[in-house]
Structure 1
Amino acid sequence: MSKFLFQNLLLFFIFASVTAQEVQTEVAPPYNIKTVSFVQNGANVIPIFELGATFELQFDDLFGSEANYYFDITHCDYNWKPTDIPKTDYIRGFDNQRITDYSNSFNTLQIYSHYRLAFPNQFTSQLRISGNYMLKILNEDREVVFSRKFILYEERSTVAVQVKRTRNLSNIDYKQNLDFSILSNDIVFQTPLQNIKVLLLQNGDFNTSIKNIVPQYTIGNQLVYKYDKETQFWAGNEFLYFENKDIRSASNNVGKVGSNSDIYNSYLYTNQARASQIYTLNQDVNGNFVVKNINASNNQIEADYAWVYFTLSAPAFRLNKDIYITGMFNNYSLTPEYKMDYNADKGVYEKALMIKQGFTNFEYKIADKKGVIDYENAIDGNFYQTENEYIILVYYKQSSDRYERVIGKGNANSINITN
């Protein structure tokens, strides 16, 4: 082998090794891909599933051309870097196959093709191990169209969680704190300070997750976390919502309906910034959404799309940052498609988004030009009374393991918050 060829091969293997260890980040879908969601038992859910459970990824392609899409699954570690175990160890079957379950919209003004990728499916009969996974949807050129995280867990430990008010008087009215403990009856934790990791989620938003918290102390095989500052979340406010299940009539928070374009328009009432107001309880679904057409029998392909017009009055807002509309309907994305525009003549922020009809929770977020979100100065404020859903996941890797298992999941709701 020549010296030149050897050097090229060496560089190739070094590059491949470095590339394989890059942190996997979610790729936002292009404009034509809408309503991407994980579905279990017919409902949109946070993508955290018990190992062996069945679930689906669903999405719409507004081009409606029955394009070919393929799927790729990558197992990742706690920090979302690909693990070095072969695919045959975590997939029974194959990935990189074409998604064959799709159908075209029926009786809708906006045409689209609706795709469903179930697990297990005819190609992938089983996901064999727990942990973090990145699901990539590819086009015919094997380019990534979009990607989504999901997590599989095992029931090998119990996680007891309590939501409490912070002990810091400077933000006691604005934050919520998680106290929790981890106990396993069939796993003896080895060096838990190094081998146990946790992930704390608020309303299924990976962007606000808290990581790298070590146990404060242990009692036998029980790990106890009673921090204050380290496990705090900004409480936020209840999600706003609109309902256009009957797309032709004004309903909850829809002030006017129009049809001066190819599809229906839903004009929402103007939202007022709520940071300076008192807390008011209104029921929400913690950022989730429901696709629904009350005049249809199959919501997946008979629910239509509408241009939804958002208006926000926030006169005290600083103009050096941007305002985005987010929720589970767009995976809390901060892409330009969801950034509001300031109307100087009216003194309000405006944006029109194409959203599938039904019931949709949303919120306004402030972010700087680099996408860093300002939670402290939220448009709608922070109130410790806000009802939020929390999930805690437990990762464990003992010395003989090749990957980090997710061995437990805990849930808590702040409606039961205590001092």
Structure 2
Amino acid sequence: MYKYCLLFFVILSFSCSNTSELKTRNIVSNQDLDRGLLLVPNQLTAPNSFKSIQLYRKGNINNPPIITLNKNEKLVLEFDELTSISGQFRITFQHFDQNWMPSNIPEAWYIDGFNELILTGGDTNSLSKPNYFHYKAEFPDNTLKFITSGNYLLNVYDYTSNTKLFSVPFYVTEQIGNLTSRVETLFNS
């Protein structure tokens, strides 16, 4: 559980780059992983105009981004965009194997419904500078349901230009067995 909480907090403080450098930003490399950063391969870090990116299980902002298959659990994505104009975003989901390489299973085998959420009309901040919009999305919902456990990347795109802005990992688990344990004293000391 400690690893998941640590991963969650590290994800909240991803590395950032300038928005004008969107085309030059790279996917997380093995060098980033070797430096001790808990980012996953194929993850795209956010540009500087995006702040406070959080992905957590609904109920408590400190929950790690893990949901259980076939339970009524939801994930919440929240982020701020430093701008004075409200944007529109497209959110998609991609399934990965245990090594964070794209899985070869068809989309219909891991998602029931549409593999896309549209996020519009963030809440504006007019009380302080700089200007920003706060966005929030909850999923799965009645149009999207995960049907396979595993590692996933949530990808956020600019709706107009279809530019991939950032991605965040999350996990779908399942209860497929029982675990029992016991403690025995083998000898007296």
TM-score range, shorter chain: 0.5 to 0.7
Instruction: Please tell me whether residue 65 in structure 1 is matched to residue 85 in structure 2.
Output: yes
* 2:139 pairs with 1:115: no
Higher RCO (C-alpha 8 Å, min separation 6): 2
Structure 1 residue 96 corresponds to structure 2 residue 116: yes
**What whole-Å deviation, never above 9, does each CA across 1:140-196 have from its counterpart, x for those lacking one?**
2222100011011112345xxxxxxxxxxxxxxxxxxxxxxxx48xxxxxxxxxxxx
Q: Secondary structure at 1:88's aligned position in 2? A: helix
2:151 to 96, 120, 132: 132
> Alpha carbons of 1:63 and 1:151: their partners in 2 closer, same or farther (altered >3 Å)?
same
Structure 1 pair 74–97 and aligned structure 2 pair: CA distance change class (3 A): same
Which secondary structure does the structure 2 equivalent of 1:149 belong to? strand
Find the residue that maps to 2:62 and give its secondary structure.
strand
Superposition pairs of residues 17-32 of structure 1, within 5 angstroms: 24-32=41-49
Residue of structure 2 in register with 1:44 after alignment? 62
Whether the aligned pair in 1 keeps the contact of 2:82 and 2:130 (CA below 8 Å) is yes
Structure-2 separation of matches of 1:123 and 1:110: 35
Residues in 2 aligned to 1:112 and 1:65: alpha-carbon distance in whole angstroms = 8
Residues 101 and 117, structure 1, Cα contact 8 Å, conserved in 2: no
Question: Normalization by structure 2: what TM-score?
Answer: 0.65
Deviation at 1:46, TM superposition (A): 2.1
Counterpart in the other structure of 2:187: none
**Which structure features the higher share of strand residues?**
1
Which residue number corresponds to residue 97 of structure 2?
77
Distance 2:121 2:173 in 1: 26
Contact 1:24 1:82 in 2 (8 A): no
Once the 2 structures are TM-superposed, how far is the Cα of residue 108 of structure 1 from its aligned partner?
2.6
Which amino acid in 2 is paired with 1:32? Answer: S
Tell me the residue number matched to 1:86.
106
**Structure 1's 67 and 60: CA in aligned 2 closer, same or farther, altered over 3 A?**
same
Q: What do the CA deviations read for 1:290-310 (whole angstroms, capped 9, x no partner)?
A: xxxxxxxxxxxxxxxxxxxxx
Gaps of 5+ in 1: 1-22, 159-182, 185-221, 223-419
Flag the structure with larger Rg: 1
Distance 1:63 1:89 in 2: 38
Q: Deviations over 1:18-68 (max 9, x none)?
A: xxxxx9421110001000011321413322222231121111101141111
Task: Decide whether the 8 Å contact of 1:64 with 1:112 is kept in 2.
Answer: yes
How far apart are 1:122 and its partner, in Å?
5.3
Off by >6 Å, runs of 4+ in structure 1: none
8 Å CA contact 1:68–1:99 kept in 2: the answer is yes
**Residues 1-400 of structure 1: pairs in structure 2 closer than 5 A:** 24-39=41-56, 40-51=58-69, 52=71, 53-100=73-120, 102-121=122-141, 123-124=143-144, 126-139=145-158, 140-157=160-177, 183=179
Cα 1:62–1:46 shift into 2, 3 Å: same
Shift of the alpha carbon at 1:115? 1.1
**Superposition TM-score, scaled by structure 1 size:** 0.31
CA distance 1:130–1:41, shift in 2 (3 Å): same
Aligned length: 138
Structure 2 residue aligned with 1:387: none
Q: Secondary structure at the match of 1:118?
A: strand
Alpha-carbon distance, 1:82 to partner: 1.5
Q: Say whether the 8 Å CA contact 2:91–2:156 is kept in structure 1.
A: yes
Gaps of 5+ in 2: 1-39, 182-189
Contact between 1:101 and 1:116, CA under 8 Å: does it hold in 2?
no
Q: Is the 8 A contact 1:50 1:153 kept in 2?
A: yes
Cα separation, 1, equivalents of 2:64 and 2:45: 17
